């Protein structure tokens, strides 16, 4: 996404520079302003919008997870599902899915989305979480009580109540 934003800034900058430089000559050369933006596309438009929707869900999940981390910091030692009513969200936030946050022993906080709930494929959400967290190893799919980022890196343990096959992000609150 930042690459696209950067390309747009460069494009707009060049268009404005071209328009301003033409003003010094007394004529406006619209060919520099109306030039189409050409970016290399590796996906079809359907895939791009689909990826955008999944990335948006990952962003939404991460806001929920941040609220769970704040709760965990204030309630050290709590073990169990964090009550939704106890989470403090920004005024602009509206959860897009029924996320679940759980605290385990050692102040482990997991926010997850269970497989089979039908909103998004778990593997795609896990991919989006890794994209948004720059490959964080605590974001992925739960299997056998561990979150795996799908790489050869270490796996992070999660509380037993987190179901296998869930897309999850796990962090420890000090």
pTM score, whole prediction = 0.69
Residue 144 has pLDDT above 70, yes or no: yes
**What is the Cα–Cα distance from 125 to 129, expressed in whole angstroms?**
6
* CB-based contact 32:19 (threshold 8 Å): yes
pLDDT value of position 49: 45
Residue 15 has pLDDT above 90, yes or no: no
SS3 89: coil
Residue 141 has pLDDT above 70, yes or no: yes
Least confident of 3-7, 103-107, 161-165, 167-171: 3-7
**What is the Cα–Cα distance from 168 to 101, expressed in whole angstroms?**
9
Cα distances (angstroms) measured from residue 50 to each of 56, 65, 161: 10, 23, 30
Least confident of 6-15, 60-69, 78-87, 126-135: 6-15
Cβ atoms < 10 Å from Cβ of 94: 8
Which of the 8 DSSP states describes residue 140? E
pLDDT value of position 14: 34
Provide mean pLDDT across the span 6-30.
Answer: 37
- Give the residue from 97, 19, 17 showing the smallest Cα distance to 57: 97
- Give the residue from 153, 126, 11 showing the smallest Cα distance to 61: 126
49-91 pLDDT per residue, tens: 478 888 999 999 999 999 999 999 999 999 999 999 999 999 9
pLDDT value of position 78: 95
* CB-based contact 39:6 (threshold 8 Å): no
Tokens of 133: 């967290």
pLDDT value of position 168: 93
Q: How is the chain split among helix, strand and coil, in percent rounded to 5?
A: 40, 15, 45
Instruction: pLDDT band for 153, please (50, 70, 90 cuts).
Output: low
**What is the Cα–Cα distance from 110 to 96, expressed in whole angstroms?**
18
């Amino acid at each position: 996404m930042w690459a696209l934003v950067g390309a747009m800034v460069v494009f707009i900058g060049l268009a404005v520079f071209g328009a301003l430089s033409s003003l010094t000559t007394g004529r406006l050369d619209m060919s520099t302003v109306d030039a189409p933006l050409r970016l290399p596309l590796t996906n079809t438009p359907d895939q791009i919008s689909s990826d955008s929707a999944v990335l948006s869900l990952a962003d939404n999940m991460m806001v929920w997870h941040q609220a769970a981390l704040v709760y965990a910091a204030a309630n050290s030692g709590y073990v169990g599902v964090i009550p939704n009513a106890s989470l403090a969200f920004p005024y602009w936030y509206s959860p897009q899915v029924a996320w679940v946050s759980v605290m385990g022993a050692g102040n482990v906080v997991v926010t997850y989305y269970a497989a089979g709930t039908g909103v998004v494929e778990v593997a795609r959400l896990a991919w989006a979480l890794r994209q948004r967290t720059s490959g964080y190893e605590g974001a992925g799919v739960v299997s056998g009580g561990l979150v795996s980022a799908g790489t050869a890196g270490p796996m992070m343990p999660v509380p037993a109540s987190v179901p296998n096959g869930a897309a999850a992000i796990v962090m420890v609150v000090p």
